[in-house]
């Protein structure tokens, strides 16, 4: 739980905010005082997150100071541009904290993976983060505001995972993209960091067969899968000035898996 309102001046845009890690991030940032713009491909899920934060859950914007929900597909350049425009119109400023949690899996062994499954995962997990990071950074630089951009990668991007060539490649790409953005944007006062979760209990991992989860859990030094809130704790730290001299970092939240 948040012990202080470290983010009381922050406007936080969270993508993938309708489920799992993104929803937990929205809840945590709001608990630390941030105003949250919750975005998801599933607009109803984003509105439900805003309802959990105590906001009106409106697609059309928010009353002054309130949280708001937005529907957007992060893999579409036009949709991401519209999203940033809508958020700025709604709150009269660009988001100072941007957390990209939107992500998908389309698992298959390399020998059988279709081009479509490759393209979809790269489009959402990697191109989506490029589009959101670029649009948010452009808005911050043109308004002269500092910011913190946090991109959710995965430990799988570092070590690979059977059946996930597409996903592992996308998540490794997120780390390289984020480090490069950190190098380019530091002089504008914009920090960029990635978070590498291990195996976290969300709808995404509910699709993994139980015997695979049991095997992985047996390899985790902490002895159990993580909760979305474990990731949200780290995101809140990276969003806040408590991490003011950290940029280009990749923080693992894995319970020690693959250390
Ligand atoms: N759960 C884990 O163990 C785990 C581990 C490492 C990394 N991650 C990453 O964390 C992030 C969140 O994962 P999760 O476990 O909470 O998954 P989730 O499936 O619970 O949530 C993902 C959310 O992203 C949204 N989304 C999907 N495609 C989108 C698009 N094109 N545009 C906008 N929103 C879109 C979905 O509607 C959903 O609400 C993902 O990037 C995932 O790869 C998860």
Task: Evaluate whether 139 touches 84 at the Cβ level (below 8 Å).
Answer: yes
Alpha-carbon 4 to chain mean position: 22
Q: What is the mean predicted confidence (pLDDT) over 2-12?
A: 84
Ligand 1 contacts CB of residue 14 (under 6 A): no
Mean pLDDT for the stretch of residues 138-144: 98
Range of the domain at 19: 11-253
Among 39-48, 68-77, 115-124, 206-215, the minimum mean pLDDT is found in 206-215
pLDDT of 201 over the 60 cut: yes
pLDDT band at 118 (very low <50, low <70, confident <90, very high): very high
Q: Is the CB of 104 under 6 A from ligand 1?
A: yes
φ, ψ of residue 111 to 5 degrees: the values are -65, -20
Task: Tell me the longest C-alpha to C-alpha distance in the chain.
Answer: 53
Q: Which atom of ligand 1 is nearest to the CA of 18?
A: 39
Please report whether residue 27 resides in a domain.
yes
On whether residue 258 sits in a domain, the answer given is: no
CATH of the domain at 66: 3.40.50.720
Q: Is residue 160 situated within a structural domain? A: yes
Residue 48 in domain: yes
79-113: pLDDT as tens digits:
999 999 999 999 999 999 999 999 999 999 999 99
- Residue 133: exposure state from Cβ atoms within 10 A (0-12, 13-18, ≥19): buried
The answer to whether residue 245 is catalytic is no
Q: Is 1 a member of any domain?
A: no
Q: Is residue 146 part of a domain?
A: yes
Count of the separate structural domains present in the chain: 1
User: Are 182 and 247 contacting, i.e. CB atoms less than 8 angstroms apart?
Assistant: yes
* Closest ligand 1 atom, residue 155 Cα: 6
């Amino acid at each position: 739980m948040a012990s202080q309102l470290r983010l009381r001046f922050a406007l936080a845009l969270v993508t993938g905010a309708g489920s799992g890690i993104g929803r937990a991030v929205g809840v945590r940032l709001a608990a630390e005082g941030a105003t949250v713009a919750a975005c998801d491909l599933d607009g109803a899920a984003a509105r439900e997150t805003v309802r959990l934060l105590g906001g009106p859950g409106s697609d059309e914007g928010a009353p002054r100071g309130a949280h708001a929900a937005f529907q957007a597909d992060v893999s579409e350049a036009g949709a991401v541009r519209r999203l940033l425009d809508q958020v700025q119109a709604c709150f009269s400023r660009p988001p100072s904290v941007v957390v990209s949690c939107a992500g998908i899996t389309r698992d298959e062994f390399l020998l059988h993976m279709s081009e479509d499954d490759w393209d979809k995962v790269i489009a959402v997990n990697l191109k989506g983060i490029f589009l959101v990071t670029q649009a948010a950074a452009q808005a911050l630089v043109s308004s002269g505001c500092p910011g913190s951009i946090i991109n959710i990668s995965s430990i799988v991007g570092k070590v690979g995972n059977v059946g996930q060539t597409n996903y592992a490649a996308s998540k490794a790409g997120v780390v390289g993209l984020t480090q490069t953005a950190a190098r380019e944007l530091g002089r504008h006062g914009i920090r960029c960091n990635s978070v590498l979760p291990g195996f976290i209990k969300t709808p995404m991992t509910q699709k993994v067969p139980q015997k695979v989860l049991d095997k992985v859990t047996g390899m985790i030094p902490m002895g159990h899968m993580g909760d979305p809130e474990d990731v949200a704790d780290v995101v809140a730290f990276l969003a806040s000035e408590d991490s003011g001299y950290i940029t280009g970092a990749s923080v693992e939240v894995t319970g020690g898996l693959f250390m």
